[in-house]
Amino acid sequence: MADVLENKRTATRFRILAEIAERQPAVSQGEIAEAVGVTSQAVSEYIRALVEDGLVEKEGRSRYTVTKEGVDWLLQEATDVRRYADHVTDDVLGNVQEDAAIATGDVSEGDSVTLSLRDGLLHATPGEEGPATGVATTDAEAGGDVGVTGFEGIIDFDPGTVTIFQVPPVRSGGSSVTDAETLTDACESADLVVATGVEAVVALRRADADPATTFAAGEVAAEAAGRGLDAVVVSTADHVGRVTDALRDANVAYEVTELA
């Protein structure tokens, strides 16, 4: 655990030094006392000790600045606190996290369930029959939403694919020069179809297909692929860069195909 969390005096010293850093050089000991929750006399004693330790420099009446050594100490303690907070968030709370799933059968609170991804959504099946399991925290009928915690194992699924179909901008012919048959076949076999750009939307209409969304196409496709869905992104050439940037940021592989 970080030192500032183990020792009350160190914690108070940390908070007072941080308050000085925020308010310097004109420092009101009364305001610091109110912010930290100690008396003004206690703040005066802490500041005196900070000056003696070389963490704070006194420049005149009620005028203080944090020294380089003080900044280094604050940064070190803040880093330790951040590491401990990350441990609590990732290692401690991660083990008691609760999520929602769709029950595939009747479930009672406390039942063990097997977890799976179907159509990109978490499903809970009564009993422990798969590589990923959890414990129901609520009652639910088949088809209802159920709370799940106590996750163990890894959900078995293959990441989805993302195929980007590039439509020329209107100045180069737009949707009128696209291969509608190829686009129709691709959309029929995809789990999700999204679009960005007017030319792309019109090209989909010519292919008798409707996009699930015309906003944040790259982000949506990345999320879908991460949940095991195969996504088709139809994008005007001018917008392809934004789509691929979002996919790269999410570390999702993709393929670009020109429709013209």
* Whole-number Å distance between alpha carbons of 221 and 180: 21
Name the pTM for this structure: 0.60
pLDDT digits (tens, 9 = 90+) for 105-142: 999 999 999 999 899 999 999 998 888 999 999 999 99
* Whole-number Å distance between alpha carbons of 109 and 98: 13
Is there a single domain that holds both residue 64 and residue 89? yes
Is there a single domain that holds both residue 106 and residue 67? no
What is the CATH classification number for the domain harbouring 172?
3.40.1010.10
C-alpha count within 13 angstroms, C-beta hemisphere, residue 80? 13
Alpha carbon of 120 to those of 91, 214, 230: distances in Å? 26, 19, 10
Is there a single domain that holds both residue 87 and residue 103? no
Number of domains observed in the structure of the chain: 3
* Whole-number Å distance between alpha carbons of 215 and 181: 24
**Residue 166's closest CA among 38, 260, 32?**
260
**Which of 93, 116, 143 finishes a domain?**
93
Is there a single domain that holds both residue 12 and residue 63? yes
**Neighbouring-strand partners of residue 255:** 163
**Residue 157's closest CA among 225, 86, 256, 239?**
225
Alpha carbon of 152 to those of 84, 95, 128, 147: distances in Å? 24, 9, 11, 15
Per-range mean pLDDT, top range of 7-11, 76-80, 162-166, 249-253? 162-166
Residue 73 phi, psi (nearest 5): -65, -45
Is there a single domain that holds both residue 103 and residue 133? yes
Is there a single domain that holds both residue 77 and residue 115? no
Q: Which range marks the domain in which residue 233 is found?
A: 162-258
**Residue 212's closest CA among 192, 228, 227, 196?**
192
Is there a single domain that holds both residue 47 and residue 131? no
* Whole-number Å distance between alpha carbons of 256 and 218: 13
Is there a single domain that holds both residue 120 and residue 206? no
What pLDDT score does 154 carry? 83
Mean pLDDT along residues 208-218: 95
Is there a single domain that holds both residue 141 and residue 190? no
What is the CATH classification number for the domain harbouring 49?
1.10.10.10
pLDDT digits (tens, 9 = 90+) for 61-110: 888 999 999 999 999 888 888 877 776 666 554 555 788 999 999 999 99
Alpha carbon of 100 to those of 11, 90, 124: distances in Å? 38, 19, 9
Alpha-helical regions (H) of 115-252: 180-189, 198-206, 217-226, 240-249
